[in-house]
Amino acid sequence: MRLSFLEILEHNDGAHYNDIVFCFPLRAIVISVGLLACHKTLYVLCHFSFLEFNLAMIVMDFISPVLEIIIRLWDCCAFVRDYEENLSCLRDVASDLQALWVDVSVKVQLAEARHQRRLNEVNDWLEKVEAMQREVQAIQEKVAHVQETRSRCSGNFPTSCRMGRIVTRKIGEVGQLIDKGHFDVVAQEMPHALVDEIPLEVTIGLESTFDELGACFDDNHVGVIGLFGMGGVGKTTLLKKFNNEFLPTKFYDVVIWVVVSKEADVGSVQQSIGNKLNVPVGKWDGKTIDERAIVLYNFLKRKKFVLLLDDLWERINLLKLGIPLPDMENGSKVIFTTRSMEVCRNMEANRCIKVECLAPKEAFELFREKVGEETLNSHPEIFHLAQIVAKECEGLPLALITVGRSMARKTLPEWKRAARTLKIYPSRFSGMVDYVYCLLEFSYDSLPSAIHKSCFLYCSIFPEDYDIRKDELIQLWIGQGLLAEFGDDVYEARNQGEEIIASLKFACLLEDSERQNRIKMHDVIRDMALWLACDQGSNTRFLVKDSSSIEAYNPAKWKEVEIVSLWRHSIQNLSGKPDCSSLLTMLVRNTELTNFPDEIFLTANHLRVLDISGNKRVKKLPSSIGKLVNLQHLDLSGTDIQELPRELQNLKKLRCLLLNYICNRLVFPRSLISSLLSLQVFSKLPWEDQFILPDLGEPEETVLLQELECLECLQDVSIALFCFSSMQVLLNSPKLQRCIRHLRVISPFNSMPHVVLFSLLRNMQHLEVLSMSISSSPRLDHVRKKESPSQGSMIEFIPMSSKLTEHGYIVALRELSLEGCGMSNLNWLTLAPSLQLLKIYNCSYLEEVIGEEFEHAENVFSSLEIVDLDSLPKLRSICSKVLQFPCLKEICVADCPRLIKLPFDSNSAKNSLEHINGQKKWWRKLQWEDEATRDHFGSKYVPLRKIRQIH
């Protein structure tokens, strides 16, 4: 036990005070130092007195911290002394680490290019190196800052000591990363199949069936699985969910999705499979079905595959298709959906899973979502009525969605009427006609007018799963007379048609297609519509076939037929002499027909719509077509007709004439077009890759434009112009300018007056699509010699920067495609707020799309959905100001080396952008507003691999 200094004094009674004061401390210090130096306590105790030892302990309590400080200071001095050397060492090892990181990254990129997956340990190492690089950079910046603000002798010792410790520690950590970075293997073959994700809405009530399907799939004894159930019950939805969420977790070489549809076409199914497998063209084109089956079989027999067949209506022979039968040895799977249990048996499915209707709770949840909370809460009684209405749907998802949407925003009296109406229908489902159609008929009966109903039924004349172009459908409605209440204003009729389509989509009777400006009709709803159109199956008012011969029908029944729709290549001839006296619409598309018999046209006195487009073997029309005096819509697009019959001039009621995708040298008898006094819509456009110039000695297109200009009722013109003289006609005709809706200009002249055309856009109030291509093809050299731009001397050329944007007019343009035009900017696009598609190719002088002086314009690119930029060597900016692009879905950039920044921030195209397509070299050079923007758009990038054809 040690004594305090005062206790020692008391113990010695103050004796030898001087010895204690003067001699004792010195001896105590010696003792304490000895204790600290050698820790030999027994030795010290043997040579010094008890009093001296205790005093030594006291002194040691004071000296020990001091010595510790001295030791730490000595260590700090070492860190400071080696500071510069350690900094240099850190730079060297960091450089070595960076070089190693580059080597590993290159190996990873090469492996991923071969569709291999990087190892987790490699990915973890790369991430740690990137983090270490940021830390080293921060240290170097801190050192530089300290050296700039202070010198080492002016109070910088603590900082230098602290930084020295950090630098020393980082040298060790960097060394460890270098030691771990020598990988023999950086990636491995990807075990998972590349599954294409399919668009899918939120699903409700499929969890139990989903789990059952997953369990069957994992059973090695199950190779073929059938999903069956009534139409609209959710079979396709379940299969999409399984494709998106379950299959990506499994080990398969390829997953193939095919929509089969009602009448299975083995050839089209094979084509879909071949497309997915990227079968070489040389092994595919010109092959028979059996030969293609051999190609597919030999390709798939070595692979572990999953084949998903949606909407199977009858047995399809897998071996005839070219699909190896799944077994335990190959581990492959086939899953199909069908409405019939019999099809499951015929397909010899190992397991059949019935897709049931939703349970009451789940059914009401789906119904509630479609009706909307605003409607349900608008009156206390509506919630109770909604439960009654949902119950009448018996859990069928299609019925719940259809009825739910039709009841959205309805008032209390309408809900009461709906509840009373639904009670008269059966509550159980025993067949498609008796229950599904009756429920869908309620949605049909709820349509706001007879026009809506007629337009809906007309949609059923298109084949199953067909992507219907909205403008095409509306034009057929007009020709049929369904929108006659709008008189002679074709644009008002089209606006009404758009509203009708929106109403049908809202009622879930139509749905959006994946393709732009197209819609689809669900096959169950289409069947129901045909059933209704034929008075619930009691007659044949609608005769619609998309894969069979017209001979299958009794010609005697044609007398009651009002609409005939025949599609596909299996139709090769029209035989017999049917009575077509009731016929109003006749669509015969994409068949193998070579001619149309006179008998049909001679008896079709009331025919209003004739569409024979896509019949490539048809080379001429019979003269009897002149007998169709009530014809209002004639579509000859995609045929091989070389000359129009003069008898067409008898069609005084014809309002729409479509001649698209026909040879550009189509002969028009003189005065034929000008004799069509009721003509409102005229269209003659080539294929995108068609580049055939007419005889410039007497350009037919110039005469054609002059005749069109004479028509008083003309409102809508879509045309391609190749001649300078025809451009003069257009530019000098205010009437034609007002009528132009789709204009394609293909010119051999570098001095083409495109600037003048742009300056006249204010007069083209209906122009929606503009495509201009200024070509320098050698094929056109002879054209330049025959016709010179100087012939257009009466046209005044206007500089791009002066007059195009000086007037505050609005351009209705929706699509713009430019190739080879010599402009430095497109500032006039600030006047086109409705622009959805922008394609610019091979414009060697274009520097910016929107210049800085026009950035203040409102709604710039507010509707833009697709941007495609290619071969623009001087382009440096789309717009230097950040834009929101609320509708942008896709942007593609190729060979634009100076475009190093996009007008994006982290909020641009936030909910719409699907992907950015571009070359890797360009992508790496892109500059971003901030890290958040780069991170946000990094996930949208898709490397550009495909070489596109520019026309």
Q: How far apart are CA 842 and CA 878, in angstroms?
A: 16
**Under a CB-based contact definition with an 8 Å cutoff, are residues 542 and 558 in contact?**
no
pLDDT of residue 695: 40
Which of 298, 323, 354 terminates a domain? The answer is: 354
Phi and psi at residue 250, to the nearest 5°: -105, 165
User: For the chain, first and last CA: distance in Å?
Assistant: 103
Is residue 105 scored above 70 in pLDDT?
yes
Instruction: Give the pair of three-digit tokens for residue 596.
Output: 């149309």
Domain of residue 44, residue span: 5-79
Q: How far apart are CA 902 and CA 848, in angstroms?
A: 12
pLDDT of residue 487: 65
Sign of CA dihedral 851, 855, 860, 866: positive
Tell me whether residue 194 is in a domain. no
Q: How far apart are CA 251 and CA 519, in angstroms?
A: 36
Confidence of residue 241 (pLDDT cuts 50, 70, 90): very high
Domain co-membership, 116 together with 134: yes
pLDDT of residue 414: 86
Q: How many domains does the chain have?
A: 7
Q: What is the pLDDT of residues 613-623, one digit of tens each?
A: 999 888 888 88
Is residue 251 scored above 90 in pLDDT?
no
pLDDT of residue 237: 92
Is residue 886 scored above 70 in pLDDT?
yes
Contacts of 771 (CB under 8 A, 6+ apart): 743, 744, 745, 815, 816, 817, 818
Q: What is the pLDDT of residues 404-458, one digit of tens each?
A: 887 888 889 888 888 776 664 333 222 335 546 775 687 788 788 999 999 999 9
Task: Give the type of residue at 320.
Answer: K
**Under a CB-based contact definition with an 8 Å cutoff, are residues 383 and 394 in contact?**
no
Domain co-membership, 159 together with 116: yes
Q: 343-352, 448-457, 758-767 — which is least confidently predicted?
A: 758-767
Residues for the chain: how many in total?
A: 951
**Across 87-101, 283-297, 581-595, 642-656, which has the greatest mean pLDDT?**
642-656
Which of 669, 684, 699 terminates a domain? The answer is: 684
Of 241, 563, 530, nearest to 521 by C-alpha is 530
User: Residues 74, 79, 81, 87: what is their CA dihedral angle, to the nearest 10 degrees?
Assistant: 180
Domain co-membership, 662 together with 560: yes
Is residue 386 scored above 80 in pLDDT?
yes
pLDDT of residue 53: 52
Instruction: Give the pair of three-digit tokens for residue 871.
Output: 């071969």
Contacts of 897 (CB under 8 A, 6+ apart): 873, 922
Of 322, 304, 312, nearest to 347 by C-alpha is 312
Please give the order of strands across the beta sheet that includes 305-312.
254-261, 305-312, 333-338, 224-228, 351-354
pLDDT of residue 26: 44
DSSP code at position 824: S
Instruction: Write the Ramachandran bin of 621: left for phi over 0, alpha for psi from -120 to 50, otherwise beta.
Output: beta
Average pLDDT, the chain: 80
Q: What is the pLDDT of residues 108-156, one digit of tens each?
A: 888 876 657 788 889 889 989 999 988 888 888 887 777 666 554 444 5
| CATH classification of the domain holding 290 | 3.40.50.300
Domain co-membership, 275 together with 223: yes
pLDDT of residue 647: 93
Q: Comparing 71 with 879, which gets the higher pLDDT?
A: 879
Decide: helix, strand or coil at residue 587. strand
Domain co-membership, 886 together with 923: yes
| CATH classification of the domain holding 518 | 1.10.10
Of 740, 281, 236, nearest to 271 by C-alpha is 281
Is residue 891 scored above 80 in pLDDT?
yes
Q: How far apart are CA 44 and CA 31, in angstroms?
A: 7
Tell me whether residue 645 is in a domain. yes
CA angle, 129 then 130 then 132, to 5°: 60
In the predicted model, what is the mean pLDDT of residues 505-528? 81
Q: How far apart are CA 50 and CA 530, in angstroms?
A: 118
Instruction: Give the pair of three-digit tokens for residue 436.
Output: 């599904």
Domain co-membership, 872 together with 888: yes
Tell me whether residue 344 is in a domain. yes
Please give the order of strands across the beta sheet that includes 518-520.
468-469, 518-520, 511-512
Contacts of 304 (CB under 8 A, 6+ apart): 251, 252, 253, 330, 331, 332
Tell me whether residue 808 is in a domain. no
What are the C-alpha distances in Å from 689 to residues 658, 666, 685, 686, 870? 19, 17, 11, 8, 17
Domain co-membership, 332 together with 237: yes
Domain co-membership, 162 together with 253: no
DSSP code at position 716: E
pLDDT of residue 68: 58
pLDDT of residue 651: 95
Helix axes 450-458, 470-480, angle to 10 degrees: 120
Domain co-membership, 183 together with 246: no
Decide: helix, strand or coil at residue 745. strand
Phi and psi at residue 338, to the nearest 5°: -155, 160
Instruction: Write the Ramachandran bin of 746: left for phi over 0, alpha for psi from -120 to 50, otherwise beta.
Output: beta
| CATH classification of the domain holding 570 | 3.80.10.10
Give CA 316 to chain center in angstroms: 32
pLDDT of residue 547: 59
Confidence of residue 195 (pLDDT cuts 50, 70, 90): confident
Confidence of residue 758 (pLDDT cuts 50, 70, 90): confident
Confidence of residue 680 (pLDDT cuts 50, 70, 90): very high
Domain co-membership, 456 together with 430: no
In the predicted model, what is the mean pLDDT of residues 681-706? 71
Q: What is the pLDDT of residues 838-870, one digit of tens each?
A: 999 998 889 999 887 665 666 789 999 999 999
Tell me whether residue 694 is in a domain. no
Is residue 45 scored above 80 in pLDDT?
no
Domain co-membership, 74 together with 102: no
Tell me whether residue 198 is in a domain. no
Q: How far apart are CA 10 and CA 867, in angstroms?
A: 99
Tell me whether residue 894 is in a domain. yes
Tell me whether residue 872 is in a domain. yes
Domain co-membership, 664 together with 568: yes
**Under a CB-based contact definition with an 8 Å cutoff, are residues 33 and 12 in contact?**
no
Q: How far apart are CA 669 and CA 272, in angstroms?
A: 44
383: exposed, middle or buried (Cβ count in 10 Å: 0-12, 13-18, 19+): middle
Q: Comparing 14 with 729, which gets the higher pLDDT?
A: 729
Q: What is the pLDDT of residues 463-509, one digit of tens each?
A: 888 899 999 999 999 999 999 876 688 999 999 999 999 888 877 68
Q: What is the pLDDT of residues 563-596, one digit of tens each?
A: 999 887 666 677 667 788 889 999 999 888 888 7
What are the C-alpha distances in Å from 859 to residues 369, 748, 824, 856, 933? 33, 35, 22, 9, 22
pLDDT of residue 576: 66
User: Residues 594, 598, 599, 604: what is their CA dihedral angle, to the nearest 10 degrees?
Assistant: 100
Sign of CA dihedral 442, 445, 447, 452: positive
Which of 317, 336, 354 terminates a domain? The answer is: 354
